[in-house]
Amino acid sequence: MTLVRTVSGVVAGGVVVLLCVVVGAAVIGSRRDFPGPGAESLTWHFVAAVLVVVAQVFADRRRGMSTVLGSAAVLVTAGVLLWTQWWG
């Protein structure tokens, strides 16, 4: 279970970093008058970051199948975010 929590923790951290990148791009874009990510992309990233952090905290504080479910929620949320906002 430690490996599962470790992998999902790294993925959760990556989603938070992506949120920071998108927010930074939006701020720089608005200051320099070039199109950056819009409100929809910012919303997707913010919601995904909140969900993965909550799911990771849940997985870290539980044992057994709850750990797997929390970690799976992190991985699925990150996958949906990447598929819809970065690869889609």
Phi first, then psi: what are they for 34, rounded to 5°? Answer: -130, 150
Q: In angstroms, rounded to a whole number, what is the distance separating the alpha carbons of residues 70 and 62?
A: 9
pLDDT in tens, 57-78: 999 998 889 999 999 999 999 9
- Global confidence as pTM: 0.90
pLDDT in tens, 2-48: 899 999 999 999 999 999 999 999 999 999 988 889 899 999 999 99
Q: 12: which DSSP letter?
A: H
